[in-house]
Structures are given as C-alpha cells and as structure tokens.
Amino acid sequence: MLTVKKTRLPLEIIEILIIVFALSWFMKTYLIQFASVGDNTMLPTLSQNNVVMVDKYFNVKLNTLERGDIVAYLSPKEERLVIKRVIGIPGDTVEIRNGYTYINGQPLYEPYAQIPVSYVFEPIVVSDNELFVLNDNRTEIDDSRSDGNVSLDRLEGKALLCVWPLSKINSL
C-alpha cells in the first residue's frame, strides 16, 4: 500500500500543476491582467513603474465604462499597453478651453487632474465604439489630444487596483 501512494504522488503533482497553469492562463487571457505604468503621464494618481490590475471582462464587455474610469489599451503608435483616464464616451462632445475640460458644453469636475495648463482643444464628437482619454498630468499630451480617440477594439480593460509598490496599494 505504501508503494502505491509513492507512485501516484508524482502524477498528482503533475495534475495539480496542469490545473493551476490552465486556470492562470484562463484568468490572464479573459479576466484580469497586470499592467505597468510606463511613464509619469498619470501623475498624481499613478506614477512610473506602478503596477495595476486590469479587469479585462466585466467592465469592458458589459459596457459599464464611465467618465473618470482609468483604462488600459494598446497604443496605436507604440503597440504597447498604456494607462489613461476616460473623459468622453460615445456621443459626447469634448473640448478644452483655458485648460479646463468641457463635456457637452458643461465643465467637467476633475479632482484627479494636475494643475490645468492653458491648452485649447477644439470640440470633437466621440464616435460609437470609441473613447476620448486624457492623462491626469495634462502637460503630457500623448493621449486623445494628439493620438485621436481610442477604439474599443484596442481596449484591454479597466484598471481596478494599484498593486505595486506596496506602499501605493489602493483602488482606482
């Protein structure tokens, strides 16, 4: 009886490893992923090398994204994952006057944005299946102001939680 248990142990370990691998692959492919912030464009909310947990399914596939959400998407210029804040959703008219953002003619309250810069962005309408995104650090303009709206096809998910460094763990 003792020898039978010893011969089954390696098989059980292999089965457990296969199950763990399959579950982690499924979660990373369809449910969550981790993304590193590559620059300081999202200061003061996120800084360079922060790692965020991205929900790839629930908020994106169920169309529950809202203004103010932080999203991860594949940059069309660099083909890398970038983190930005949703400002305009389909149907919105977005413009920036005197450094302040207006949605459908109304000023947008943005406590997360750094000190406004004197920047003008002519009104545009956000098309269906697109988002208008901005950096929290508005002095950096590698967002929808220079790159155009983000297609929902390029969207990886909604950032839910900053998980690294440990001193910066918080929900987003």
Taking the chain, what is the end-to-end CA distance rounded to the nearest angstrom? Answer: 55
Q: How much of the chain exceeds pLDDT 90, in percent?
A: 6
Q: What is the dihedral of CA 155, 59, 163, 134, to 10 degrees?
A: 50
Any bridge partners for residue 54, and if so which?
33, 159
For residue 101, how many other CB atoms are within 10 A of its CB? 23
Mean pLDDT for all residues in the chain: 82
Dig out the tokens for 22 from the structure.
């399959």
In eight-state DSSP terms, residue 56 is S
Q: What are phi and psi of 2, to 5 degrees?
A: -65, -40
Q: Which CATH number fits domain 32-171: 2.102.10.10, 2.40.50.180, 2.10.109.10, 2.60.40.10?
A: 2.10.109.10
Phi-psi region of 122 (alpha: psi -120 to 50; beta: other; left: phi over 0): beta
SS3 state at 76: coil
Q: CA–CA distance from 119 to each of 133, 145, 150 (Å)?
A: 16, 10, 21
Q: Which residues in 50-89 are b (16+ Cβ under 10 Å) and which e? A: bebbbbbeebbeeeebebebbbbbebeeeeebbbbbbbbb
Where in the chain are the domains? 32-171
Residue showing tokens 């000023």: 107
Whether residue 1 is predicted with pLDDT greater than 50 in this model: the reply is no
pLDDT tens digits along 29-44: 777 888 888 887 888 8
- pLDDT at position 62 is 53
Average pLDDT over residues 76-84: 80
- pLDDT at position 5 is 56
Please calculate the CA angle 89-109-44 and round it to the nearest 5 degrees.
95
Residue 64 one-letter amino acid: T
